[in-house]
Amino acid sequence: MKLKLNVNGKEYDLEIEDRKLLVDVIREDLALKGTHIGCDTTDCGACTVLLDDRPVKSCTVLAAQASGHKVTTLEGLSRSKEMKILQKSFVDNQGLQCGFCTSGMLISSYALLKKNKKPGELEIREALSGNLCRCTGYQGIVKSISEASKEIEKTQEKITEVAR
């Protein structure tokens, strides 16, 4: 089938098999390897991307279903200030070890902080309930997100001060 797909703000004209999954199009056709495949059974969340700003597991979405929507991968958020702060916080707070789950964790965290600027521990854990990590024990990840939310708030306060 022929398919138009908007990924990271860019329109792609693709010719793919009808049954091709979004994650496979992202990785194989668009060569965006920041989106990982950890299970292929909807369990791990390593393949999480934003679909119209909502986190989804791209191994459970047909590429055809994403047509007409806005798909955002980790690469598409690389210039975002919030994502840069999140990435630094994951490094500073031992939010990762092997890093395989990290892109999915970052996407879910980013989506959480967009709708809830000061999430509590339970809200963070709930937002990450679809993302599995086999290495960290989650404490470092939760701390990373919590610290990032404080840092993002500080940055916004500075911007407001400068604008006054």
Q: Which residues bind ligand FES (CB under 6 A)?
A: 37-40, 42-47, 57, 59, 96-101, 133-136
23 within 8 A of 87, measured Cβ to Cβ: no
Nearer to ligand FES, 28 or 157 (CB): 28
Supply the minimum distance, in Å, between the C-beta of residue 104 and ligand FES: 8
First-residue to last-residue Cα distance in the chain? 53
The CB-of-24 to ligand FES minimum distance in angstroms stands at 10
38 or 153: CB nearest ligand FES: 38
Torsion angles phi and psi, residue 46, rounded to 5: -65, -20
- Reported as half-sphere exposure (CB side, CA atoms, 13 A), residue 100 has a value of 11
Q: Give φ, ψ of 12 to 5 degrees.
A: -115, 135
- 38 versus 76: smaller Cβ distance to ligand FES: 38
CB of 158 to ligand FES, least distance (A): 31
Cα distances from 38 to residues 15, 16, 78, 81, 85, in angstroms, run 26, 23, 22, 27, 25
Nearer to ligand FES, 64 or 118 (CB): 64
Q: What is the closest distance, in whole angstroms, from the C-beta atom of residue 5 to ligand FES in the complex?
A: 18
48 and 131 Cβ atoms separated by less than 8 Å: yes
